[in-house]
Structure 1
């Protein structure tokens, strides 16, 4: 995808490449799943989501991102490319929110409180640059019943004390009944309260 949004080839070559891409797409579509089915390569209990738009190794827009855990703190390192662009040479604000939502969800899980996002507040302090190594950090800071408050920030890796974006999110840990209602289409054994975190 990065090559597609950065290319400067002639229009005729673009048409040729688009035709080839359609042929490849048709090949992939020969065996596809319904949107309500889990990909065969996913392992929810093992936290593998191959096509997740942030951490999925099989998702074309997901940057290579590595999360590490230190207790209930989560730190990720990644670099955004042109496919994530909003203003010229900077990240789109929606992409920034997407990455924060993922990191905050990881922190809720690391604190033993996996859940789904119920609220997400994002404050943009400075533009997030493309092509620069970034650091995303998050930590669960408060628990209230089945809800967990998580805070996070994005900085550059070179200047971890200079906040570019900060965020706060609330995550709801689903009970068995809520899981069954929300994910009734999944097979038994694919879901547990601990398998939902993003």
Structure 2
């Protein structure tokens, strides 16, 4: 698992790894610009003509993304799956236009995520959508499973919303494994404002399951081709 992809590597890079690093850097740069565009799009009060011109321009740019297009079951070469970096994750992916993205780091007893929600994540005016909180904790709790060496998949997620999550405010999310039962993994997670981290705004209890080898092959038929 590599929960902090921006940390410097101590391993000498081969030409292949340099190519991969450059690809990730380019994906991250494009993801950042797309998030800026998304933010401007949901804030704008531009005229219909301006919006129509923008739509045509974006359509033209989309046409420039030529080459191989991965299938829905194909694992991107830039990912570390299972249990690591996912470049296009809607929660943590630096290449995703809809991700905050949440930066994940390991802690002594689990993992911590740092993020800010933007206006594109809005539910009630000024606050994050409750479904975004659920998505973020579901992702982070999965990282907590992987941090123990047992990547798992969500089979249940129980949310408790104790206060609204403000937009454009530094947030801290936490997750840790609370126990296991055979292949079941019990995980707890929370979100708070970073400046008042002891006041929990959202809590979650999740149950994850580590698929056996046969189930993993069935669920992820291209896994054998992953890095």
C-alpha distance after superposition, 1:151-175 (max 9, x if no partner) = 0110000111111000010110111
Q: Does 1:5 align with 2:42?
A: yes
CA distance in structure 2 between the aligned counterparts of 1:45 and 1:116, rounded to whole angstroms: 10
Gaps of 5+ in 2: 1-37
Match of 1:75 in 2: 112
C-alpha distance after superposition, 1:68-121 (max 9, x if no partner) = 112331111100001101111111111110001011111111122211011101
Match of 1:194 in 2: none
CA distance in structure 2 between the aligned counterparts of 1:19 and 1:92, rounded to whole angstroms: 30
SS of the residue corresponding to residue 123 of structure 2 reads coil
| TM-score, with length taken from structure 2 | 0.79
Gaps of 5+ in 1: 192-198
Q: Does 1:188 align with 2:224?
A: yes
- 2:121 equivalent among 49, 64, 84: 84
Counterparts in 2 of 1:128 and 1:121: CA distance versus 1, 3 Å: same
1:103-142 maps to which residues of 2 (within 5 A)? 103-142=140-179
Deviation at 1:6, TM superposition (A): 1.1
C-alpha contact (below 8 Å) 2:82/2:151 kept by paired residues: no
Number of residue equivalences: 190
C-alpha contact (below 8 Å) 1:51/1:59 kept by paired residues: yes
Deviation at 1:189, TM superposition (A): 4.8
CA distance in structure 1 between the aligned counterparts of 2:148 and 2:208, rounded to whole angstroms: 12
Deviation at 1:138, TM superposition (A): 0.9
CA distance in structure 1 between the aligned counterparts of 2:86 and 2:215, rounded to whole angstroms: 21
Q: Does 1:159 align with 2:196?
A: yes
Match of 2:23 in 1: none
Counterparts in 2 of 1:31 and 1:67: CA distance versus 1, 3 Å: same
Counterparts in 2 of 1:46 and 1:183: CA distance versus 1, 3 Å: closer
CA distance in structure 2 between the aligned counterparts of 1:87 and 1:67, rounded to whole angstroms: 26
C-alpha contact (below 8 Å) 1:71/1:110 kept by paired residues: no
1:1-80 maps to which residues of 2 (within 5 A)? 1-28=38-65, 31-44=68-81, 47-80=84-117
Deviation at 1:46, TM superposition (A): 7.5
C-alpha contact (below 8 Å) 2:160/2:203 kept by paired residues: yes
CA distance in structure 2 between the aligned counterparts of 1:155 and 1:58, rounded to whole angstroms: 25
Q: Runs ≥4 in structure 1, deviation > 6 angstroms? A: none
CA distance in structure 1 between the aligned counterparts of 2:132 and 2:116, rounded to whole angstroms: 12
| TM-score, with length taken from structure 1 | 0.90
